[in-house]
Amino acid sequence: MEAAEKLAGVLLDTRSHLSVDALLDATTALVQDCDHPQIRKSRPIEHFLERYKRPIEDLQKRRIKICDFDSIKVIGRGAFGEVQLVRHRTSKKVFAMKSLDKSEMIRRADSAFFWDERDIMAHTDSEWIVRLYYAFQDARYLYMVMEYMPGGDLITLMSNYECNEQWAAFYIAELVLAVDVIHSVGYLHRDLKPENVLLDRRGHVKLADFGTCVKMDKDGVARCSSAVGTPDYISPEALQFQGVAGEFGPELDWWSVGVLLYELLIGETPFYADSLAGTYARIQNHDSQLEFPDDVPITPNAKDLIKRLLSDPKVRLGKKGVDEIKAHPFFTSCDWTFSTIRQATPPVVPELTSDDDTRWFEEVGPKQPNPGDGFQLPKAFTGNQLPFIGFTYSNELGPAHHIQLKHAATKATQNGSGPELIALRQDKQLAQLELSKVRADKDRFETDLGTTRVELKIQTEKLKEMENALEQERRYVESERQARNAAEVNAGTKDKEKTMMEVEMRQTIGRHERELKTKEMRIDSLVHSEISLRSETEKLQKSLAQKEAAMKSLEEALQKSLAQKEEVALKSLERQLQETELSQARVEKEHVETELRDLKLRNRSLEGRCHDQEETLGAERDVIELFKNELSTTRLELQMQAEKLKELEHALDQERRYVESERLARHIAEENASTNDMEKTMFEIELRQTIGRHERELKAKDMRIETLLQCEGNLRSELDALQQSLAQKEASLKSLERQLHETVNLATAPNKRKSFGAPNEMQSPFGPTLLKCQESFRSVSNASICSGDLSQLSKEQLIKCFDREKNMKELTIQKLREVSAQCNKYKNELSKKGRLDSNKKRGQEIATLQQQLNHEINKAREAEQLYEREKDELNKLLTDEQQCTDRLRDELAQARRNEEDLLAKLGETSSTTSRDIESQSARQNGDVDTYSNCSSSISTPNGSRSSAVVPLVEKIRNAGSEEVLLQSKCQLRASANLPKKVRKNGWIPVVTMISVSQLRVIGEDQTEIVIDVADIKHARNVKQPDIRSASEKELKRIFHILYTEPTTSGNLSICASMSSIATVAQSAAATHSFVEVSFHLPANCDFCNTRLNEFFRTVPALECTCCKKRYHKNHLEDPKFPACNMSRGGRELMLMCESSEERARWITMLEALIKRSLKASS
């Protein structure tokens, strides 16, 4: 019997390897692994499946499964699965469900990680750890149904808010308590980062993602040989023991806490670098690499805590226990303590509208299909499902829970409590169901109240917008009225125009007044809707209060009914016990009376025969009587003691019930008090936020009023300026008229002909007529001048001169009359047109200039496109020409080496033979030169080369030292001196140009970097490990330059050379400065050109921090292993071009210049 009870305990224990769920998993896994066509050919397996396949299918339908949940939204995705927001179909509760691909778990080296994650969340009962409700599986996935954290994570918090030290102290203190819980259950987390620190609906911290946890032994030490964790948050001791078995303590996690504190205050991690090797190098040299920027104020206590957490593991804060961290002065100036922080109000309480609100989570894109997902169809028994046996955790939905309830009910029935306790439990369950319904109603009313509040807020904002629009309309009407008054004051004598303006103004005013009335009606309707919404809100609040009161009354009635039923049950049990004891006493009494009667009968029968012994019998009778008296006295005493014991037990039961009721009442009162305090705090926060929002809105309105007043002043000043310009135009018109009158007067006076000015002639439309008049005046003047010497002319000539002069004067008078008529006509046209002609003329000029500008822009664009096409064609031809030239150069060098070998062999032969050899070599060189000269017409896959295209090498050879060979707009990668939260994506726009001697990078502020071409050692494309923050499209446009000792000017920031981590004492390898790195992103070995990254296991790899080359670790013993070409201390430069084709041109040009400089140096 005892062994059976132990076996039952093992089967019902959820932590046991032989629990009911584990045995059901084992049977299901065996059926799934055997149910394949190739395996079913075995007769025993076929018999097994025939017997158990159908029962297992029925069993799977009754167990917890994926179809019991409705998917709402995907809120996260990782390398091995995703996290969905789901709702249970029966209970309607919301959970976060994490699914993991079994095939990926089997391929992964540390495939057992999910066991630790399941056990920690299922069996750690802590308010700082995300709780696991259920865990189940199917043939392809593992599922973990967890507590949903609607507040998001610290990444979302840092992206939406600027964290000060008070906020950072609060979140770090709660994180310290959460990490301490993990350490207390015997685990190291090893992957603390903002993504794994979640926030619940109240804003408090809960720790998640325990897939990287490792178990500690009794000494508090964990032993592992792999550097697990995110690169920016990994500790230096984990990097030191990468690939080698090492021992780690709880101080491993406190390093990550220090990195998180730095990121909360500064905005980025302390040791970030573009490449993985650069990050690891900075972490190893943390003593010299830890810096605090000057633009972010940090208190000395915060700096001290960060420095002590980011220190050597032997002296790191927290090595001697978590109390060291709790006692730090950074946490002493806060309004809370570590024991009361859970009841404190967090800095940010997430605003939620429903239980499935996901606004605090980033949008997750659609999943890319992977044809390799799932298990392959096996040809033999593989046991793919066996590693997952026992993963199911059904909680209250599993068979073990129901078996335990049934066993408890059976045991209670056997103990005599019987139907009363069963009925009591049933009533209790019904009351709990009623309580859960009331709570669901409360949650629904709270959700409706939140929705109503949001709608009320939207309506209030709309009302404010309408009030602002109304105020603007009023201001506009007022400005129109002022403009109308000003127009009335400044109006002239033109009554018709004035009447038209008044009519238009009346119409405008009437239209605006109608619009104002409609908007006022709209505002009234919005006010009425707001009043109705407020009344509905008050009704909802009253109904919510009534529901809460009803819920409290139901809880009190439930407690009272439970206490009364327990009391009645106990009284009935006491009565049964008393009746049982009374019946036993009656039986004993009857037995004694029977014995007494027997003795009396025996006495009477023996009186006659024993008369002689009467005295003896009398004495014995006396003794018997005394014994009976003593016995009765003893029985009475026993009965009295039993009654006292019953009274004491009854009093003790009453005291226990009283104490229990007091404890329950106190617990309920404490819960109500905490709930009231929380609601009070929430209302206070909401009130403060509302007050702040209203103050900000008032400030914005004041600023808007000031802006409108300034705009009104500006408009008035512009109106005055326009009136002044109008007066000036009228004055200029009058002056023009005066000039025209003077011109006419001057034209009629012969002695003032020379004062007739050309500028006024050209400014009027009768300029050509005035020019003709001027020519006539000049001819008359010349004729008059010529008539001065009359003595030298004959009579006929004099007559001709006088006639000519007379005709010229008559012609001039006629011209002047025409000029006068045109002047009058022009004056009338000016009076009619006014300023419209000048505006039209100016508009025509502007339109003409705009057309010319568009024409020039189109011509420039066409020229640019033509230039790009020609440049691309020339680059292709240059590349082909360079390849051909390199091949010819190699053949020429080989021919010269052959010539030298022949000369060395023949040595001191005859001169004839020498001359023959020399002539032969000359002919050979001539053939090569001929081949080289013909290279411009060799046919290539891209087409025939033109002889006019100069090869790239010839272009470099013929170019001057300062001639620019290539120039383009790029972006320079900067890793420092940038604002926080921008450094990980910092790109500076620059112009890059290269000549034969120098590479120049010029910034927008005319700062530049100048690098000698001889110092450039390497130019290559980049991969994902080189710059982790770049996207795939950006990687196709980025190239990497390595150089030594550059000449810099200005303040552009580039990546400096990193210090050495570990050197390998071998011949060529000793020149490198290697860092041991595990590549999870695509990367190739620079020695064997094979892949360095593996999907499911780490490959030992090395990366040089100087030359940036990567090798497999086993290549160090190879005699052909290359030396480092950056031994002088290298620097690096990353440039992003506008296209991948432009990057290819830059790399081709740089490689050609590097080869040229190497040949020149050798």
Q: What positions carry a catalytic annotation? A: 191
Q: Which helix (H) or strand (E) covers residue 676, if one does?
A: helix 614-748
Query: Dihedrals φ, ψ of 827, to 5°?
Result: -65, -45
- Of 158, 153, 179, 182, nearest to 168 by C-alpha is 158
Q: 508 CB contacts (<8 Å, ≥6 apart)?
A: 480
Beta bridge partners of 382: none
Q: Are 1076 and 243 in contact (CB under 8 A)?
A: yes
Q: How far is CA 509 from the centre of its chain?
A: 53
- How wide is the angle at C-alpha 320 spanned by C-alphas 314 and 321, nearest 5°? 135
Q: Which helix (H) or strand (E) covers residue 748, if one does?
A: helix 614-748
Q: Are 169 and 159 in contact (CB under 8 A)?
A: no
Residue identified by tokens 């009704």 is 539
Tokens of 19: 């629990």
CB atoms within 10 A of CB 78: 12
Q: Are 77 and 364 in contact (CB under 8 A)?
A: yes
Is residue 805 packed enough to be buried (19+ CB in 10 Å), middle (13-18) or exposed (0-12)?
middle
> Does residue 630 come out as left (phi exceeding 0), alpha (psi in the -120 to 50 range) or beta?
alpha
- Of 327, 572, 552, 577, nearest to 442 by C-alpha is 552
Q: Which DSSP state fits 393? A: B
Tokens of 1154: 């590097």
Q: Is 92 annotated as a binding residue?
A: no
For residues 422 and 219, give the distance between their C-alpha atoms in angstroms, rounded to a whole number.
49
Three-state SS annotation for 181-226? HHHHCCEECCCCCHHHEEECCCCCEEECCCCCCEECCCCCCEEECC
Q: Distances in Å between the alpha carbon of 170 and those of 326, 342, 671, 682, 1088?
A: 12, 10, 24, 18, 52
At 870, is the secondary structure helix, strand, or coil? helix
Q: Which DSSP state fits 1062? A: B
For residues 485 and 491, give the distance between their C-alpha atoms in angstroms, rounded to a whole number.
10
At 970, is the secondary structure helix, strand, or coil? strand
Tokens of 990: 């620059």
Q: Are 1139 and 1037 in contact (CB under 8 A)?
A: yes
Tokens of 462: 């709309």
CB atoms within 10 A of CB 271: 25
Q: Which own/partner pairs from 54-57 qualify as long-range (CB within 8 Å, at least 24 positions apart)?
A: 56/27, 56/28, 56/31
Q: Which DSSP state fits 1117? A: G
Q: Are 1156 and 1080 in contact (CB under 8 A)?
A: no
Helix, strand, coil percent content, the chain, rounded in steps of 5: 60, 10, 25
Tokens of 135: 């865990």
Angle of helix 614-748 relative to helix 418-490, nearest 10 degrees, comes to 20
For residues 873 and 886, give the distance between their C-alpha atoms in angstroms, rounded to a whole number.
20
At 79, is the secondary structure helix, strand, or coil? coil
Could you list the residues known to form a binding site for ATP, using ranges.
Answer: 98
